[in-house]
Amino acid sequence: MGDAAVDKPASIRRWEAIRARGMGRYVLVNGMLAYGLPLFVLMTFVVHRAHLGLRFVLVSAVAWAFGGALFGWVMWHARDRLYRRLAAHFGVPGPEA
């Protein structure tokens, strides 16, 4: 076989690049911004627009920020677990941790 980087499936290489940037960035970008923010806007200003008020918007923002962070954290661990399984299956050296 050739170079290990060439032999790795694309999904493994992609996750390694994401993983190298760190869990904090993943949770912020994929959880809070890509998941929590759109749902905050949709649920606050579209679905529950009859309840609009400063307090409701603030509580909703905090709730969706927390929910987005939790979603990002769960997805990080799920994807990392899949990465470890794929790395073991393909005989690719996995993370040292």
DSSP string, the chain: ---HHHHS-HHHHHHHHHHHH-HHHHIIIIIIIIIIHHHHHHIIIIITGGG-SHHHHHHHHHHHHHHHHHHHHHHHHHHHHHHHHHHHHHT------
pLDDT tens digits for range 37-55: 999 999 999 999 999 999 9
Question: Taking CA 35 as the corner, what is the angle to CA 49 and CA 84, rounded to the nearest 5 degrees?
Answer: 160
Per-domain boundaries in the chain: 9-90
Q: Which amino acid is at 74?
A: V
Please work out, in degrees rounded to the nearest 5, the angle formed at the alpha carbon of residue 79 by the alpha carbons of 75 and 80. 115
Instruction: Give the pTM.
Output: 0.83
Q: Is the pLDDT of residue 2 over 70?
A: no
